[in-house]
Amino acid sequence: MGRIANRGEIAKGEAEAMILDILEEGLGAADPFSSVKEALSGLAGYARSFGRIVVIGFGKASLGMALACEEALGDAISGGAIITPRGSIGGERPRGIEVLEGTHPIPSEMNLRSTERLLSISGGLSKGDLVITLISGGGSALFAYPAPGITLEDKGETTKLLLAAGATIRETNCVRKHISAVKGGQLARHIHPARVLGLILSDVVGDDLSSIASGPTSPDPSTYGDAWAILGRYRLIDRVPESVSRRIRMGLEGRIPDTPKPGDAIFEGVRNVIVANNMRALSAMAKKAESLGLRAMIATSYLEGEAREVGRVVGSIAKQIRYMGQPLGPPCAILFGGEPTVTLRGRGRGGRNQELALSTAISIAGLRNTWFASIGSDGIDGATDAAGAIVSGETFEEALGRGLDPMEFLEENNSHEILKELGCLIYTGPTGTNVNDLAILLVLE
């Protein structure tokens, strides 16, 4: 995993080649197989101390994580099942763990059937049994079981509205937890009294356990009041399906129980472990950059905000480096991780990484020996087949020379079209992992 599929087309010089090397190093550090295998090497004794061991999982990285479980624990696993995105299954499969599929990012009846299978496998166990739960990005959509009175269509429409309005993943998951029967610690409630070992690949900025895949095995500190406030913040109370607003209102009135909170006895038998995250990938990228003779610094793994505005900030850092030699002097690599958002204003195509790259290209226009690249670690950026894009201080002028105005494309949220025309898109295909976005600003002498 972790290879740039169109490397030969976009590695036009030494700088681009270095950027791609560094990005590939980050993807390799987020490999789900090696991350789970490493974690289980220290937990194998703990896992084997139980009677039955059942493995369930959901998310973009669940296949690699399941294979690592089988290699580490072998015949000690009694069985299990995982849910992966439809069309992503290829190559080796687990021997004793079922591989199911679901649609992403909008759940369908396929997800519901797969979730029912996971619930049947993980229920009815005793305190002496263990359920290893493999959780990774995309799990919120793949592991879907709406609360009573809410349909999959209602849940899908709510998710669409939140994403289009620019809600963060935390905000989106807060609402989804309160219209679900399995999110926000409710899977742990279902598995109880059996024990839970959650092995988690984090796709959430800051690694908040209650937000990753909507926290199915974690206490949920959020409330119906928080979910209502989020819908209000984005003016969605009257736009979401009536069943959704009705259920959240019932929760506000105390007519239905909230999700299980910190201190609930069901979590005494739960152990959650982060096996890989954005910071792990950025640290590997920094080491690779230094091995290439660059000064390297991780600026943040908490990158959030509107992608077009974040691009202006990245541009300001590039100028500070070029003109002031701060925070590092050239040659240097400044690394960013996180997950910006895009509020749809136009009718174009793109994703947060492409929009961030386009905005940065505008901001660094004219800066010599300056490049920027950003990719989604899962290999999918928005509703496109690209992972992200790479731009330079020359990209803006090149676009104008072809009769393309980058500002117009940015206003229309149409980053994909212009970056494709300029040959700036990065393709990896599905990587089998997801630890947020990885970005690098490279400034040479």
Digit-coded pLDDT (tens) for 23-82: 999 999 999 999 999 999 988 888 888 999 999 999 999 999 999 999 999 999 999 999
pTM of the model as a whole: 0.88
* Six-digit token string for 181: 């029967």
pLDDT tens digits for range 336-381: 999 999 988 899 999 999 999 999 999 999 999 999 999 999 999 9
| CA gap 218, 270 in Å, rounded | 8
- H-assigned helices in 51-168: 62-73, 109-122, 139-142, 152-164
| Pick from 19, 10, 103, 7: nearest CA to 428 | 7
Supply the pLDDT for residue 391. 98
- The closest of 262, 296, 274, 130 to 206, measured between CA atoms, is 274
For residue 75, the SS3 value is helix
* Torsion angle, alpha carbons of 415, 17, 428, 29, to 10: -120
Domains identified in the chain and CATH numbers: 7-29+279-443 (3.40.1480.10), 32-145+180-222+259-276 (3.40.50.10180)
Distances (CA, A) of 440 to 4, 326, 363: 15, 16, 15
Residues with Cβ within 8 Å of residue 254, at least 6 apart in sequence: none
How many CA atoms lie within 13 Å of 412's alpha carbon, on the beta-carbon side? 14
Quick one: pLDDT band at residue 330, thresholds 50, 70, 90? very high
| pLDDT for residue 358 | 98
Q: Where are the alpha helices (DSSP H) in 265-306?
A: 278-291
